[in-house]
Chains A and B, each alone.
Chain A
Amino acid sequence: AQKITQTQPGMFVQEKEAVTLDCTYDTSDQSYGLFWYKQPSSGEMIFLIYQGSYDEQNATEGRYSLNFQKARKSANLVISASQLGDSAMYFCAMRERDGYNTDKLIFGTGTRLQVFP
């Protein structure tokens, strides 16, 4: 079963508008973390934002915010005031601890965002 689900393969948004990228997750752990990464066409993975499962406030980093709804197991990324440079692939990921007590990140399939003028 998918542990991280991103249901939007592609999204379009006009410049200066806000956009929400969806992410739902599945875990039975009480302690976990959720991440969003951006991957431009150049290929590097850029960390955007982090939300811990015990954090009561939604995480924010500049124009990025994470809409964390724990009961619904969703961790949507909101980008406000989109810019042309936001066009990229976006990945949601969850930190989980395996049987060896090692933390690893499980990724979703990604959403390709295109910002148009």
Chain B
Amino acid sequence: DVKVTQSSRYLVKRTGEKVFLECVQDMDHENMFWYRQDPGLGLRLIYFSYDVKMKEKGDIPEGYSVSREKKERFSLILESASTNQTSMYLCASSTWFGDTGDTGELFFGEGSRLTVL
């Protein structure tokens, strides 16, 4: 069964702490993504990566960074957590659109709900 696994379902951190959210996929996908989900705002793209050591900013990168040292792993880092980063974080992966009929569909992890106090 193909899978995207996020390391923590629930985290509680304090303002100013450094936070790591880990994501691993076993589908050999080239592309990986981090989204943030907030009520009324839907899913917003934070960062994405189309190759190892490559990263691109999404729509809301401020306050976040990412790391992709291996193809299967994509980490989201909050250097200094703030209360406005309390949210649900969703990791996803995909292959390229057009590869053997692929649609570019995203495969999601279960999400990490982060609370910053």
Contacts and interface: CB of A to CB of B under 8 A. Distances in A.
Interface of A: 4, 6, 9, 33, 35, 43-45, 47, 50, 52, 91, 93, 95, 97-98, 100, 102-110
Contacts, number: 66
B111 A104 contact: no
Contacts of B56: 98, 100, 102
Contact of A91 (B42, B92, B97): B42
B103 interface: yes
Given A44-B111, A52-B103, A103 B31 contact: yes
Interface residues of B, number: 28
Contacts of B31: 102-104
Interface in B79-112: 88, 90, 92, 94, 96-97, 103-108, 110-111
A107 B104 contact: no
Name the residue in B41, B43, B105 with the highest tally of chain A Cβ atoms < 10 Å from its Cβ. Answer: B43
Nearest to A98: B56
Nearest to B94: A103
18 contacts: A4-B42, A33-B103, A35-B103, A44-B108, A45-B106, A47-B105, A47-B107, A91-B43, A95-B97, A95-B103, A102-B31, A103-B31, A104-B33, A105-B94, A109-B40, A109-B41, A109-B42, A110-B42
Interface string B37-73: 0001111110010100000101000000000000000
Contacts of A45: 90, 92, 106, 108
Given A43-B110, A91-B42, A104 B58 contact: yes
A102 B48 CA distance: 9
Contacts of A102: 31, 48, 50, 56
Contacts of A4: 42
A44 B90 CA distance: 9
A53 to B, nearest CB: 11
A105 B88 contact: no
A111 B48 CA distance: 25
Contacts of A93: 43, 106
Nearest to A34: B103
